[in-house]
Amino acid sequence: MRSSDVLGYSFSAIRLRKMRAGLTTLGVAIGIAAIVALLSFTAGLQVTMTDQFEEGFGSDTLTVSSGGGIFDMLGGGSGDSDFSLLLNDTDAINSIEHVESTVATMTKTIQANFSGNVVPASLSGINFTAYTSMYTTFIAEVGSIPESPNDTDVIIGSLIANPWDNGTIIAEVGDEVSIVWTGRVNGSIVQTNYTGTVVAILEEIGGFGFGPSDMGFYIPIDWAVKFFDTDEIASITVKMDTEEQDEIDALIEEIEDLFEGLVTVTQPAALLGMMEDMLGILNIFLAGIAGISLIVAGVGIMNIMIVSLIERTREIGILKGMGMHGRTVLGIFLSEAMMIGFLGGIFGIVAGVFMGNLIGGITSNLGDSGIMPPGSPANIPPITPIFSFELLTFAIVFGVGVAVIFGLYPAWRASKLKPVDALRFE
Amino acid sequence: MTATLEYTMESEDFIPKVIEIKNLTKLYMMGEVPVAALRGVSLSVNKGEFIAVIGPSGSGKSTLLNMIGALDRPTSGTVLVNGTDISTLTDNQLADLRQSVGFVYQTFNLISRLDAIGNVELPLSIAGVRKKLRRSKAEVMLKIVGLGDRIHHKPSELSGGERQRVAVARALVNNPAFIIMDEPTGNLDTKTGLEIMEFAKKLNREQGITLIIVTHDLEIGSQARRTIRLRDGQIESDEVNY
């Protein structure tokens, strides 16, 4: 029998039981739609996060901090300590091989008062010039970053100036800002303040990371040392002149030895890799969940095909009686399963593309919808689901594959029926 | 056959072939107990014969028919169909052999979702004949059985006699070596049954098609030129009617 005739015959059998075939196809379509929607979304998420990380981190930098580093921030870190990095520690680091430059960052939490609008902010004391050369995202959108700044010069992130991202501007270049810091100096609690002038507002950065942030508030490091009356700093960012992981590892070890293991050296690029690994696991996990629904659909296919086999035993007997080979019977049943899988795959892809875009749309609109609190919207970048050719091909192949695998047993049983027995079947 | 047919049956389309059976036995297992359905049957069928196999139920008629029709293998003895011993054939070879056998069943055994022409086309489709050729062949065959105006009717839209004629057309369409009819009139009223028998006789007389009819109806059996009586798995009598 010609394969086109086998397909035609199978199709006529499917058409006869539209409802049954339709429901089975729906089962496959739901599974495929879940796979397409989830995987396209995580693919989009991965790209978005990778972009964010690469912008926020600088791939050729290391961050040296006292204590447990970022793992302290994640909570539970023992945070050893009495040990603090000092401003002049940068000199020691600068003398190590493969260190191109360093930037020390002093971090304090302050209240910034822009003529009545009080915003809590994380203030960073930095060397403007060195920071600019370290991070490409440290660029002024309005005003300019001074090369030799005055003590009272202040640079702010876009979200400080425009906290709700809705046009309500609370700070502009040239505005004065009153900075209030409450802290402990030499054992006694003091509240000090000074008035600075906004000289630049940064371009929107988005994302998150170790580098400049939209919520940042930057003053010159020299002034920070005087104002806070300390030369203890939070972290030192190191720019490297190598991309060889061996050399980077050696450099990390050398810095750690330099401070006798009291500092943590974090390689953002390695973090990025870690994050990608985690996303990969998430991907497998989600695909697994979607895969389960497809397996359920496969069991459905097997079920209706066994019912169909029993109903059509006599028909199989007639066909074999006319000289049809067992493998042709196998082909007829398998192509029925295949058609269901293929149709389910097509419908599933259409539904999956729709669902993926829907999920993407919902997450993109979170900021505007008021679900997320003000101040955080820019940290949720729009996630565009990615429907790669590979994903769509995989979806079809997987749908057809599952259908064929689960159709194999009923088809095999049909092909093995003896014509005499099948013809006698009532 | 009329002159307006698109396809003309050629004389070689109707070349009859021979069946030769020697000492055929067939045992079935009924649970643990072997039951002999056939015990040493020998007979031969010449081309162009019209044979009725009659006998009460349980006499082994259907078993004999399954052997002749290459649907089953004998327990012992030989069955030569077209000179081929079916006991030596693989499943696929048996299937190929069945393509040259026309079967007409008591219950018609049409595929209900296919229309008349779809049913008649099936044996050709199984044999790998191209769509165009098999369509015209099937159409001719349906005209021969008098259903030229009903080719697109589903079996459910046809009467019993019409269904059986579709079945006959289906049995004939692939130029079979011979046609086996298993109680072809069993599900039909007397008048329609006689019509089918008349048609069968005409096929045998005019086209020289070898016909083997299995029946328990003595009246039907008496219309054949040769009557074989089976009882308890053996041939009781084998005589030619004049």
Please check whether residue A315 is in contact with residue B111, taking contact to mean a CB–CB distance below 8 angstroms.
yes
A356 and A386 part of one domain: yes
Residue B113 is nearest to which of A16, A325, A418, comparing CB atoms?
Answer: A16
Interchain proximity A319–B96, CB inside 8 Å:
no
Q: Which residue has the higher pLDDT, B10 or A77?
A: B10
| Cβ contacts of A260-263, under 8 Å, gap ≥ 24 | A262/A66, A262/A67, A262/A80, A262/A81, A262/A83, A263/A64, A263/A65, A263/A66, A263/A67, A263/A83, A263/A85
Three-class SS of residue A164?
coil
Please check whether residue A211 is in contact with residue A58, taking contact to mean a CB–CB distance below 8 angstroms.
yes
Q: For B92, which residue in chain A has the nearest alpha carbon?
A: A325
Q: Which pLDDT score is estimated for B2?
A: 46
List of residues 6+ apart from A40 with CB closer than 8 A: A352, A353, A356, A385, A386, A387, A388, A391
Q: Which pLDDT score is estimated for B16?
A: 46
A141 and A252 part of one domain: yes
Q: Indicate whether A70 pLDDT > 80.
A: no
Q: Which pLDDT score is estimated for A372?
A: 44
Average pLDDT over residues A263-292: 84
| Distances B165 to B60, B109, B175, B182 between C-alpha atoms, Å | 26, 12, 16, 14
A178 and A311 part of one domain: no
Instruction: Name the pLDDT band for A158 (thresholds 50, 70, 90).
Output: confident
Q: Provide the shortest C-alpha distance from residue B60 to chain A (in Å).
A: 14
Query: Could you report the per-residue pLDDT of A306-357, keeping only the tens digit for each?
Result: 999 999 999 999 999 999 999 999 999 999 999 999 999 999 999 999 998 8
Q: Which pLDDT score is estimated for A74?
A: 47
Total domains in the fold of chain A: 2
Q: For A13, which residue in chain B has the nearest alpha carbon?
A: B113
* CB proximity A311 to B under 8 Å: no
Interchain proximity A2–B92, CB inside 8 Å:
no
Q: Indicate whether A270 pLDDT > 90.
A: no
Domain limits, chain B: 11-240
Q: Where does a domain end: A261, A289, A323?
A: A261
Q: Which residue has the higher pLDDT, B110 or A367?
A: B110
Instruction: Name the pLDDT band for A59 (thresholds 50, 70, 90).
Output: low
- Whether residue A389 lies inside any domain: the answer is yes
A282 and A415 part of one domain: yes
Q: Where does a domain end: A234, A261, A288?
A: A261
Max mean pLDDT among A1-15, A273-287, B50-64, B115-129 falls in B115-129
Q: Which residues of A269-295 are buried (b: 16+ CB within 10 A; e: fewer)?
A: bebbeeeeeebeeebeebbeebbebbe
B109: left (phi over 0), alpha (psi -120 to 50) or beta: left
Q: Which residue has the higher pLDDT, A112 or B9?
A: A112
Residue B109 is nearest to which of A13, A318, A420, comparing CB atoms?
Answer: A318
With vertex at residue A144, the alpha carbon angle to CA A140 and CA A88, rounded to the nearest 5 degrees, is: 85
The CATH number of the structural domain formed by B11-240 is 3.40.50.300
Token pair listed for B148: 């030229």
* CB proximity A315 to B under 8 Å: yes
In percent, how much of chain A has pLDDT > 70?
A: 88
Query: Could you report the per-residue pLDDT of A173-229, keeping only the tens digit for each?
Result: 888 888 888 887 677 888 888 888 899 988 887 665 667 888 888 999 988 888 888
Q: Which pLDDT score is estimated for B56?
A: 87
Q: Which pLDDT score is estimated for A73?
A: 47
Q: Provide the shortest C-alpha distance from residue A426 to chain B (in Å).
A: 11
* CB proximity A2 to B under 8 Å: yes
Average pLDDT over residues A386-415: 93
Q: Which domain holds residue A411?
A: 3-55+273-424
Residues in B touching A423 (Cβ below 8 Å):
71, 105, 109
Q: Which pLDDT score is estimated for A49?
A: 77
Instruction: Name the pLDDT band for A376 (thresholds 50, 70, 90).
Output: very low
A297 and A413 part of one domain: yes
Query: Which segment of A146-155, A339-348, A367-376 scores lowest on mean pLDDT?
Result: A367-376
- Whether residue A79 lies inside any domain: the answer is no
A31 and A145 part of one domain: no
Please check whether residue B48 is in contact with residue B208, taking contact to mean a CB–CB distance below 8 angstroms.
yes
Residue ranges in chain B modelled with pLDDT below 70: 1-18, 242
Average pLDDT over residues A363-371: 56
- Whether residue A63 lies inside any domain: the answer is no
- Whether residue A196 lies inside any domain: the answer is yes
Q: Which residues of A351-363 are buried (b: 16+ CB within 10 A; e: fewer)?
A: bbbebbbebbeeb
Residues in B touching A326 (Cβ below 8 Å):
91-92, 95
Q: Which pLDDT score is estimated for A43?
A: 86
A47 and A89 part of one domain: no
A286 and A208 part of one domain: no
Q: Which pLDDT score is estimated for A373?
A: 45
Q: Which pLDDT score is estimated for B10?
A: 60
What rounded mean pLDDT belongs to chain A? 83
Q: Indicate whether A359 pLDDT > 50.
A: yes
| Distances B77 to A125, A228, B29, B47, B83 between C-alpha atoms, Å | 105, 112, 18, 22, 14
* CB proximity A318 to B under 8 Å: yes
Cα–Cα distance, B182 to B65 (Å, whole number)? 8
Q: For A425, which residue in chain B has the nearest alpha carbon?
A: B109
A190 and A50 part of one domain: no
Q: Which pLDDT score is estimated for A242?
A: 81
Q: Testing the interface with B: which of A2, A5, A319, A327 to mutate, by most B Cβ within 10 A?
A: A5
Please report where in the chains the tokens 């019912």 appear, as a residue: A307
Q: Indicate whether A100 pLDDT > 70.
A: yes
Instruction: Name the pLDDT band for A407 (thresholds 50, 70, 90).
Output: very high
A362 and A242 part of one domain: no
A44 and A108 part of one domain: no
Residues in A touching B118 (Cβ below 8 Å):
12
Q: For B112, which residue in chain A has the nearest alpha carbon?
A: A315
Query: Which segment of A57-66, A151-160, B115-124 scores lowest on mean pLDDT?
Result: A57-66
Q: Which pLDDT score is estimated for B9?
A: 62
Q: Indicate whether A138 pLDDT > 80.
A: yes
Q: Which pLDDT score is estimated for A369?
A: 46
